[in-house]
Amino acid sequence: MTKTSRRTMIHRWGAAADRRWSAQPFRRGVPIPPEVFLAHGRTATLRYLDTAPDDATRPLVVLLADPPVTIESYSDLIGRLRDSHRVVVTELPGFGFSTPLPGYDFTLTALGDALTEFIATLSDTHTTLVAPCATAYCALDIATRQPALLHRLVLTQAPDWPTALFWRDRLDRASKGILRTPLLGQLLLRAVRTNLGGQWLRRACATPDTRARLLADFAAADRTGAAFSLATAFQHYLAGPAPRIDTATDILALWGDADPSHRHSDPETITRIAPAARLVRLPDTGHFPELERPDILAALLR
């Protein structure tokens, strides 16, 4: 067996471990409060909230939950939008209570395929996709491959691809690169995910009230067994060459200027991969502009 095939096999073992752990809450029942549903796709089962599943008349806004945040933390933003929009919030495969199925390999293409399948079941017109952080690149990839699917993109806290990889490496310094090491990274994160998730929210969120709510929601989800496949995302999603992006979709980029995790990132670099993007910078706002300043996002969407 060659060195390349060994490395590939170890990567697959790590991803398989996260698929197995992500499925555990489904064996004992995932939280399904009012307006929350499960979408059973070819490669993933997504837990999502839908404020108006039978209303095809309102413009559709699909929000991707920013791990380790789950759909429960979007209540304030949903309240500001539900009278004018059909609002859908979904957790990503391997995070929260959405589980990847056999064949899902955690790559950008795999996530794009799962989300494309999901969004296509909701609506085929006037859809806005709100994609935070690293999911922005998947959103841009979807807009490139399926230009008719999305009417508009809202990207939050997303620089260009090289800057995102630098950001990933800075986050992984505390583990001395272990999170990016196949299998070892998954095992480490399994042991420390509760502390790591809480530390991340305390550090990245700059708004005290929002921070307290995110921490409470995260603690409740963690007690119930929510998945947090960050190591696998580092190894499979934030890896490789930059995705090919070529889209004419309307793009709005929101950036929180008080995000310490991105203090070395230049938000203007998003225009290198999305030249038409309009950048709105928000002072006193951290890593979660859509949650810390829901009034701004709601006003922009209207």
Averaged pLDDT, 128-134: 98
Residue whose entry in the numeric block shows the structure tokens 């380790």 = 68
pLDDT in tens, 208-229: 999 999 999 999 999 999 999 9
Token pair for 273: 């991969």
Is the pLDDT score of 153 beyond 60? yes
Between the two ends of the chain, the Cα-to-Cα distance in Å is: 57
Token pair for 241: 């060459």
What are 39's strand-pairing partners?
A: 46
Q: Is 125 left (phi over 0), alpha (psi -120 to 50) or beta?
A: beta
Confidence of residue 144 (pLDDT cuts 50, 70, 90): very high
What is the three-class DSSP state of 115? helix
| Residue 176 confidence (pLDDT) | 83
CA distances from 37 to 23, 40, 53, 118 (A): 16, 10, 10, 12
pLDDT in tens, 43-81: 999 999 999 998 888 999 999 999 999 999 999 999 999
Please state, rounded to an integer, the average pLDDT across all residues of the chain.
Answer: 92
pLDDT in tens, 26-50: 767 888 999 999 999 999 999 999 9
Strands (E), the chain: 36-40, 44-50, 60-64, 86-90, 95-96, 99-100, 127-132, 152-156, 227-228, 250-256, 278-282
Is the pLDDT score of 25 beyond 80? no
**What CA–CA distance (Å, rounded) separates 22 from 224?**
12
Is the pLDDT score of 231 beyond 90? yes
Q: Are 216 and 242 in contact (CB under 8 A)?
A: no
* Among 28, 138, 154, 48, residue whose Cα is nearest residue 96: 48
Token pair for 248: 């004419």
- Surface-to-core class of residue 186, CB atoms within 10 Å of its CB (0-12 exposed, 13-18 middle, 19+ buried): buried
DSSP at 94: T
Q: Is 121 left (phi over 0), alpha (psi -120 to 50) or beta?
A: alpha
**What CA–CA distance (Å, rounded) separates 87 from 56?**
12
Q: Are 134 and 237 in contact (CB under 8 A)?
A: yes
| Residue 102 confidence (pLDDT) | 92
Q: pTM (2 decimals)?
A: 0.94
CB atoms within 10 A of CB 255: 22
Roughly what angle, to the nearest 10 degrees, separates helices 135-145 and 108-122?
70
**What CA–CA distance (Å, rounded) separates 64 from 62?**
7
